[in-house]
Chains A and B, each alone.
Chain A
Amino acid sequence: MEAAGESLRDTELRLGLPGTDAPEKPASTVTRGGKRALPEDDEEGYAKSNKSSSSSEEEQGEGDLCGHEPPAAKAQVVGWPPIRSYRKNSLHARKVEGEAAGLYVKVSMDGAPYLRKIDLKGYKGYKELREALDDMFKCFSLGEFPRKEGCSGSEYAITYEDKDGDLMLVGDVPWEMFISSCRRLRIMNGSEARGLGSRH
């Protein structure tokens, strides 16, 4: 009975929260084995059912027995749980800030009709960055992106505006230093960029 019920349950797939245990039958208003008028009796009922809840599976109390449809797969409901938006925003803003402080930067390309935004933290180094930019802007580009430092032989140069507002060529400083000082990226026309190129 109980054992069979347990193994049957094990094979069932249900919606539910992790860690919630399956009730043996729908947790219903029909009391189990008699009246439960007084909360003190709860002890007994609790002890009994405890044995059967050893298997943990993703199960939720059978929707509700109230007669409306069981709650759908947890789509967020407005205003639930009841936390003031002030609190939500304070904690959330901090998370977002922490994750993206200064690392989402705008990328503009001379001649392109709109800008893009990228997360510098998402790249491990300059190579990846160049590849990503190439990918992002290839529909606009009429030439190749510089594959190595300096801009010799290419139509475009990747530059950036740093903390002080100066226009710098990408690639001169160590990657970590770069991402901490880069405020925005600009893909410049090769001709304009001549003046910036490091002449090794």
Chain B
Amino acid sequence: MREERSDMSEDDDGGGEEKDSWAPGLGVAGKSRGAPYPLPPPLCDQVLENVIENVLQFLTSRRDRNAVSLVCRSWYRAEAQTRRELFIGNCYAVSPRRAIDRFRCVRSLVLKGKPRFADFGLVPIGWGAHFSPWASAMATGYPWLEKICLKRMSVTDDDLSRLALSFPFFKGLTIICCDGFSTAGLAVFAEKCRHLRLLDLIEDYFEEEEYEVVDWISKFPQTTTSLETLGFDCLPSAVNFEALEALIARSPALRQLRVNHHVTVDQLRRLMVRAPQLTHLGTGSFRSPEEGEGMEHEAHLVSAFAASRSLVSLSGFREVESQFLPAIYPVCSNITFLNFSFAEITAEDLKPVIRHCHNLQNFWVLDTVGDEGLQAVAATCKDLRELRVFPLDATEDSEGFVSDVGLTAISEGCRKLRSILYFCQRMTNKAVLTMSKNCQELVVFRLCIMARHLPDHHTGEPMDEGFGAIVMNCKNLTRLAVSGLLTDKAFGYIGKYGKSIRTLSVAFAGNSDMGLRYVLEGCPKLQKLEIRDSPFGDPALLSGIHHYYNMRFLWMSSCKLSRRGCEDVAQRLPRLVVEVIRDRPEADDEAVEKLYMYRSLVGRRNDAPPFVKIL
């Protein structure tokens, strides 16, 4: 359900997808040296292998599978033969060829490209993560491919076309935070992909002029389709509504529909009437097309929602007019996921809605609801697992609507909370500490105090103690993002207690190299570390040499690294690709503005643009 999407956006995954034999001496037939496929085993081993293969079919977790593959050669082969879903967390860590050579029977591919900080404009355009080489390799290597999920890749219209033409059994395409393609590509894809079940566009970037927009919705097969999921809420251009309505009408299997903001409330109602079996709905704008036409739409909308007995997930509400919110009351008690994060609503708007949402597990909202709104959430949503509070105005000196008060309320009401993302302008150690004690099941804790270096607004102290409490009390914590005024002490806590942490995001924090050292020396499970604007230099960088092969990547920008330090690392760790990214061509060569390094089985990439120097 929603888990899949949350999973992708959490960047939560773990051990190597292709990781094997990083520990030396494991004797797996020279895989790490790129030796050819091993010789066939003797007969008795073959029988055993067949048995293992049959068992392994049931093993789906990639971490389990990675472990299996390390047992012995026979198990390695069996696992390789039976892996159906291939997860590649860094497209540059392995080549398409190697992946295809090892895993012969893949049906589903997950591929991630750019580092996460690319989302915030820190990675210059043209950096890489091109999907094309993968698309062409898989066209020959995996003819039975059914599903692809891409995140932060550059995808072209040609790629989409190739996908549609090369894979006769293709069923599902999910594209998250990607760019490079347009409605023209979607049109070809829709037309050629006859058995498509899933097309989900999530937060992708489109750069089309109005006159370039293609009516892709009309290109779907005119017969009954097998569509189960159609999501295009990020599409900036309007789709042909009549064609969309007709498409919905001939898609009896449709369960998830997410439309964009061009779809108004009356249009939405028409779609809902065609698809009362929907489980997931993205509502578009949730406003009426013209002023003053609200009244009649309201009544019809309520009945449309009342008829949608299966709805468990609601999103959209892009330009919500609060008069329409009551329409969703009939489904509120069934809803487990509610995304109001584009809806500028107040606490007064929210309260009557949230009061019905007893079963809510995932709630995304804008900070316009304020601490008061969050208190209302805490009062009703006892089953809440995930909360995300986004800022309406994402600038440092914006007026903050939520604070430590809201956080405390949530921690007191929602004890089962596992994941939180919270943007605010003021926070206290006490509130964070309270959360650490009340919500011990926290797996993800991401607090963003928007003003840089902001201390506890009651005590004036750094936020060290609050974050320290989080890592100490929340034993299941795997992902942490810190903010506010932080000294090395905070990192001391993280290094000491954050034994399960896999992903750590740091910005404008720490006093000295010790901060980074604490983390690199103390967190054995650390996989993904992204740091910006913190005073960590070469000695700190070097202190992680023992660990970098176990990590997916390290990102450091605007820190105190020098070319020499990075070169040192590159020399000592030949399997690490060390990229120095320059923003400005005339920038000083010695100081390193941006460092991105990652382990790779295939060495330096050959598509690096001029502003990337690989050491």
Residues A1-58 near B (CB distance < 8 A): 17, 19-24, 27, 29, 36, 39, 42-43, 45-46, 49-50, 53
Q: Decide if B234 is an interface residue (CB 8 Å cutoff).
A: yes
Interface range, A side: 35 or more
| Chain A residues whose C-beta falls within 8 Å of the C-beta of B323 in the assembled complex | none
Whether a CB of chain B sits under 8 angstroms from the CB of A78 is yes
A83 within 8 A of B: yes
**Nearest A-chain residue to B123, judged by Cβ:** A79
Q: For the complex, what is the distance from the CA of A185 to the CA of B533, rounded to whole Å?
A: 50
Chain B residues with Cβ below 8 Å from A43 are 430
B203 at the binding interface (Cβ < 8 Å): yes
Contact status of A77 and B452, CB under 8 A, knowing A46-B459, A84-B119, A86-B203 = yes
Q: Contact at A78–B396, with CB atoms within 8 Å?
A: no
Binds A, one of B35-43, B96-104, B507-515, B546-554: B507-515
Query: Known contacts A67-B535, A86-B234: does B121 contact A79 (CB below 8 Å)?
Result: yes
Interface bits A71-104 vs B (CB < 8 Å: 1, else 0): 1001011111111111110110010000000000
A180-B119 Cα distance, complex, nearest whole Å = 38
Bound form: Cα–Cα A183–B397 in Å: 37
| Residue among B205, B451, B466 with the highest chain A CB neighbour number at 10 A | B451
Give residues 136-170 of B contacting A (CB, 8 Å): none
A39–B433 touching, CB < 8 Å: yes
From B266-274, B485-493, B605-613, give the one contacting chain A: B485-493
Judged by DSSP, the binding face of B is loop
Q: A49 touching B460 by the CB < 8 A rule?
A: yes
If A39-B433, A39-B469, A39-B472 touch, does A79 touch B122 (CB 8 Å cutoff)? yes
Q: Which of under 10, 10 to 19, 20 to 34, or 35 or more describes the interface residues of B?
A: 35 or more
- Is the beta-carbon distance between A80 and B469 smaller than 8 angstroms? no
Whether A74 pairs with B397 at a CB distance below 8 angstroms is yes
A64 within 8 A of B: yes
Q: A50-B458, A61-B455, A79-B120 are in contact. Are A91 and B392 (CB under 8 A)?
A: yes
Point out the residues of chain B lying under 8 angstroms from A50, CB to CB.
458-459
Type the 1/0 row for B456-493, where 1 means its CB is closer than 8 Å to any CB of A. Answer: 01111110011011001000000000000101110000
Most chain A CB within 10 A, of B261, B394, B512, B535, is at B394
Quick check: is B319 within 8 A (CB to CB) of the other chain?
Answer: yes
Looking at chain A's contact residues, the main secondary structure is loop
Interface check B288, CB cutoff 8 A: no
Would you call A146 an interface residue if the criterion is a C-beta within 8 Å of the partner chain's C-beta atoms? Answer: no
Of A68, A77, A80, the most chain B CB neighbours within 10 A belong to A80
Chain A: which residue is nearest B285 at the CB level? A94
Contacts of A125 in B (CB 8 A): none
Q: Is the CB of B395 within 8 A of A22?
A: no
> Which residues B93-144 have CB closer than 8 A to chain A?
117, 119-122
Interface assignment of A65: CB less than 8 Å from any CB of chain B: yes
Residue in contact with B460 in the complex, picked from A21, A29, A76, A84, CB distance below 8 Å: A21
Q: In the complex, which residues of chain A have a beta carbon less than 8 angstroms from the beta carbon of B527?
A: none
CB pair B318 A94 closer than 8 Å: yes
Contact in complex: B465, A91 (CB < 8 Å):
no
User: Is B423's CB within 8 Å of the partner chain A?
Assistant: yes
Minimum CB distance partner of B202 in chain A: A86
Q: Is the CB of B433 within 8 A of A42?
A: yes
A39 touching B465 by the CB < 8 A rule? yes
Q: Smallest Cβ distance from A73 to chain B, in angstroms?
A: 10
Other-chain contact of B461, A49, A63, A87 (Cβ < 8 Å) = A49
Return the contact of A20 from the options B205, B341, B454 (Cβ within 8 A). Answer: B454
CB of A188, distance to nearest CB on chain B (Å) = 29
* Interface membership of A177, Cβ < 8 A: no
Q: Contact: A49 with B122, CB < 8 Å?
A: no
Q: How far is the CB of B113 from chain A (nearest CB, A)?
A: 15
A173 beta carbon closer than 8 Å to chain B: no
- Output the nearest chain A residue to B432 by Cβ-Cβ distance: A39
8 sample A-B contacts, Cβ–Cβ < 8 Å, listed by A number: A21-B457, A22-B460, A39-B468, A39-B472, A80-B120, A82-B448, A84-B119, A87-B203
Q: A27-B455, A50-B458 are in contact. List 6 more A-B contacts (CB 8 A).
A: A29-B488, A42-B430, A46-B429, A80-B450, A83-B423, A86-B204
Name B residues whose Cβ lies closer than 8 Å to a Cβ of A: 117, 119-122, 177, 203-205, 234, 261, 318-319, 341-342, 344, 390-392, 394-397, 423, 425-426, 428-430, 433, 436, 448, 450-455, 457-462, 465-466, 468-469, 472, 485, 487-489, 505, 507-508, 510-512, 532-533, 535
